[in-house]
Structure 1
Amino acid sequence: MRRKHVVAQTVSLFAVAAALAGCTVDGNAVNDSDPAANAVVDVKSLDTGKYPTEPRKPFGEATGDEVVTYDAQRMAQYIVAPFEIDADLTNMGLPMQVLYSTTNVRAVVGDDVANVKANDAILYGYVVSASTPDETIRAGTKRELNNFVTRYITPADATAAANQMADAYLKRPKATTVRVDGMSGSRVISVPGNTNGTTALVSITAHNTYVLFTYYQTTDAQKDQLQPAIKKAVDLQTALIDQFPATPTKAEREARNQPKKQLIMDQNHILIYALPYTDQEIKDAKVKTPNPGNVRAVYGPRSMSFFSSDPPADFRLLNEVGSTANAMDRATVYRAKTPEGAKKIMDTFENSNRARGMKPVPAPPNLPAARCLSEVTQNVTGYWCEVSYGRYVAELVGTDPKDVYQQTSAQYVIFTKADQKAN
Structure 2
Amino acid sequence: MRTTKLIPLAAALTAGLLLAGCSADGEPTGASGGDAPTTANVDKAALDTGDYPTTPAPPYGYADPTSAGSIEGQRLSEFTTLPYEIDADLTEVKMPTGPLKDGGAVSMLISGNVSQVALDNGMMTGFSTVASTPGRDNSRSVLHAVLRFGDNAAATAAAEGIYQGLLTEDSGMGLPVPENIDVLPNTKVTVHDIPDLKKVDVNALTVHGDYIIYTWASAPTDQKDWTAKSVAKALQLQEPLLDKFPATPKDKTKELKIDQNDLLIYAVPNKEGDARQTSQMAVYGPRGMAHRSTNPQLTYEVLTGAGVEHAASYNTSVYRAASADDAITVLDAFVDDLTAAGFAAAPAPAGLPDAKCLAKDTTSGEENYCYVVNGRYMGEAGGLDKKDVDQQIAAQYLILEQADQDAE
Note whether the superposition's TM-score is higher than 0.5: yes
Q: Which residue of 1 aligns with 2:152?
A: 155
Give the match's secondary structure for 1:294.
coil
Decide whether aligned partners of structure 1 residues 12 and 239 sit closer, same or farther in structure 2, where only a CA change above 3 A counts: closer
1:44 deviation in Å? 3.7
Q: Which residue of 2 aligns with 1:263?
A: 256
1:376 deviation in Å? 1.4
- Equivalent residues of 1:75, 1:244 under 8 A apart: yes
Decide whether aligned partners of structure 1 residues 238 and 195 sit closer, same or farther in structure 2, where only a CA change above 3 A counts: farther
- Equivalent residues of 1:11, 1:397 under 8 A apart: no
2:285 aligned partner, one-letter code: G
- Equivalent residues of 2:47, 2:351 under 8 A apart: yes
1:387 aligned to 2:372?
yes
Give the match's secondary structure for 2:407.
coil
Q: Which residue of 1 aligns with 2:89?
A: 88
- Equivalent residues of 1:7, 1:382 under 8 A apart: no
1:373 aligned to 2:358?
yes
- Map 1:221-260 → 2, pairs under 5 A: 221-250=222-251
- Map 1:11-26 → 2, pairs under 5 A: 12-15=25-28
1:37 deviation in Å? 4.4
Q: Which residue of 1 aligns with 2:57?
A: 56
- Map 1:72-111 → 2, pairs under 5 A: 72-111=73-112
- Equivalent residues of 2:75, 2:284 under 8 A apart: yes
- Equivalent residues of 1:16, 1:393 under 8 A apart: no
1:337 deviation in Å? 0.4
- Equivalent residues of 2:322, 2:376 under 8 A apart: yes
Residue-by-residue CA offset, 1:178-232 (whole Å, 9 max, x unaligned): 2222312111121235961111221101111111100011111211222222111
1:40 deviation in Å? 4.2
Q: Which residue of 2 aligns with 1:146?
A: 143
Q: Which residue of 1 aligns with 2:296?
A: 311
1:327 aligned to 2:320?
no
Higher RCO (CA 8 Å, separation ≥ 6 residues): 1
Q: Which residue of 1 aligns with 2:268?
A: 275
1:280 aligned partner, one-letter code: G
Structure with the greater alpha carbon radius of gyration? 1
Residue-by-residue CA offset, 1:53-72 (whole Å, 9 max, x unaligned): 11012222223322222111
C-alpha distance in structure 1 between counterparts of 2:62 and 2:116, whole Å? 32
Decide whether aligned partners of structure 1 residues 226 and 7 sit closer, same or farther in structure 2, where only a CA change above 3 A counts: closer
TM-score by length of 1: 0.85
C-alpha distance in structure 2 between counterparts of 1:80 and 1:51, whole Å? 35
Give the match's secondary structure for 1:121.
coil
Give the match's secondary structure for 1:388.
strand
Greater shift in the superposed pair: 300-309 or 190-199: 190-199
C-alpha distance in structure 1 between counterparts of 2:383 and 2:189, whole Å? 43
Q: Which residue of 2 aligns with 1:356?
A: 341
Decide whether aligned partners of structure 1 residues 118 and 73 sit closer, same or farther in structure 2, where only a CA change above 3 A counts: closer
Decide whether aligned partners of structure 1 residues 113 and 103 sit closer, same or farther in structure 2, where only a CA change above 3 A counts: same
Decide whether aligned partners of structure 1 residues 16 and 61 sit closer, same or farther in structure 2, where only a CA change above 3 A counts: farther
Residue-by-residue CA offset, 1:317-346 (whole Å, 9 max, x unaligned): 111111121111011111110111111111
Aligned-residue CA RMSD (Å): 2.6
Q: Which residue of 2 aligns with 1:217?
A: 218
C-alpha distance in structure 1 between counterparts of 2:258 and 2:238, whole Å? 25
TM-score by length of 2: 0.88
1:30 deviation in Å? 4.7
1:402 deviation in Å? 2.4
Residue-by-residue CA offset, 1:2-46 (whole Å, 9 max, x unaligned): 3456679989552489xxxxx9xxxx97524xxx84624243442
- Equivalent residues of 2:310, 2:319 under 8 A apart: yes
Residue-by-residue CA offset, 1:82-109 (whole Å, 9 max, x unaligned): 1111111111101112223343211211
C-alpha distance in structure 1 between counterparts of 2:70 and 2:220, whole Å? 36
- Equivalent residues of 1:387, 1:395 under 8 A apart: yes
Decide whether aligned partners of structure 1 residues 153 and 29 sit closer, same or farther in structure 2, where only a CA change above 3 A counts: closer
2:258 aligned partner, one-letter code: M
2:203 aligned partner, one-letter code: V
1:396 aligned partner, one-letter code: A
C-alpha distance in structure 1 between counterparts of 2:144 and 2:23, whole Å? 21
Give the match's secondary structure for 2:191.
strand
1:170 aligned to 2:170?
no
1:412 deviation in Å? 0.3
Taking only the aligned residue pairs, the percentage that are identical comes to 33
Count of aligned positions: 391
Decide whether aligned partners of structure 1 residues 7 and 403 sit closer, same or farther in structure 2, where only a CA change above 3 A counts: farther
C-alpha distance in structure 2 between counterparts of 1:80 and 1:205, whole Å? 15
2:155 aligned partner, one-letter code: A
Decide whether aligned partners of structure 1 residues 337 and 328 sit closer, same or farther in structure 2, where only a CA change above 3 A counts: same
- Equivalent residues of 1:118, 1:160 under 8 A apart: no
Give the match's secondary structure for 2:141.
strand
- Equivalent residues of 1:15, 1:386 under 8 A apart: no
- Equivalent residues of 2:121, 2:154 under 8 A apart: no
Q: Which residue of 1 aligns with 2:2?
A: 2
Q: Which residue of 2 aligns with 1:256?
A: none
Decide whether aligned partners of structure 1 residues 179 and 379 sit closer, same or farther in structure 2, where only a CA change above 3 A counts: closer
Decide whether aligned partners of structure 1 residues 6 and 100 sit closer, same or farther in structure 2, where only a CA change above 3 A counts: closer
Greater shift in the superposed pair: 370-379 or 210-219: 370-379
1:272 aligned partner, one-letter code: I
Give the match's secondary structure for 1:125.
strand
C-alpha distance in structure 2 between counterparts of 1:179 and 1:399, whole Å? 47
C-alpha distance in structure 2 between counterparts of 1:219 and 1:113, whole Å? 26
1:270 aligned partner, one-letter code: L
C-alpha distance in structure 1 between counterparts of 2:319 and 2:76, whole Å? 19
- Equivalent residues of 1:14, 1:332 under 8 A apart: no
- Equivalent residues of 2:368, 2:389 under 8 A apart: yes
